[in-house]
Structure 1
Amino acid sequence: MTDAKNADVPARGIARGRYRFREYHVTTVPDSLLLPAFTALCVTGEERSCGATSGTLHTLDEVTRWIAGHCAQTGHQHYEQTVRAILRAELGAWQ
């Protein structure tokens, strides 16, 4: 089907509609019943990373102690830290 004013142009928007989506306003709150989980991974190395990992720890002090110990043993200085926490979503009003 073509547009009546412009015979060589295909018709656009024959069945147009406007949709409005409402959304929740959500806030996230750390779950106080569960401890956060921290891990450290040694990424020092020229051709490949060392790959030593701290395993799951529950405080930043434990992660820092593990890094200090690994650094003292190996001299490695570059680490990747991962933090995981369980969050609870609190739904707000519809908007």
Structure 2
Amino acid sequence: MSRAVLRLTPYKISEDRTSMPTYGAVCVRGDDADCGAESGQHVDTKPVDQWMARHTAQTGHDRYQQVFLSYATVALKDGPSLEAVKRS
């Protein structure tokens, strides 16, 4: 039997409000394989929606992976660390 000690430290994960999120799309429809065409990254969803509509009109492709990217910050929470002990 072994004994393991696991120490958990509380962290707070927050949206980084100093940066703008970005939106995009990738076409995942094609005849033999995914098309792979990309909308590019935008700070608004409207250009992405317009790109998907144009791409569908031009190719007939109708399935997309929507992409949302944002930044996060991680900081220790206030207060003492938590400690959990696991025994096997």
| TM-score (structure 2 length as normaliser) | 0.74
**Residues 46-85 of structure 1 mapped to structure 2, 5 A cutoff:** 46-85=31-70
Q: Does residue 42 of the first structure (1) align with residue 23 of the second (2)?
A: no
Identity, in percent, stands at 31
Amino acid at match of 2:63: H
Give a deviation string over 1:28-72, Cα, whole Å, max 9, x none.
111111111222111111211222111111222222121112112
Q: Which structure has the highest strand share of the two?
A: 2
- The runs of 5 or more residues in structure 2 that have no matched partner are 83-88
Which is higher, the Rg of structure 1 or of structure 2?
1
Q: Compute the RMSD of aligned alpha carbons.
A: 1.9
Residues 24 and 45, structure 2, Cα contact 8 Å, conserved in 1: no
Q: How many residue pairs get matched?
A: 80
Whether 1:20 aligns to 2:5 is yes
Q: Which amino acid aligns with 1:75?
A: G
More contact order relative to length (CA 8 Å, sep ≥ 6): 2
TM-score (norm: length of structure 1): 0.70
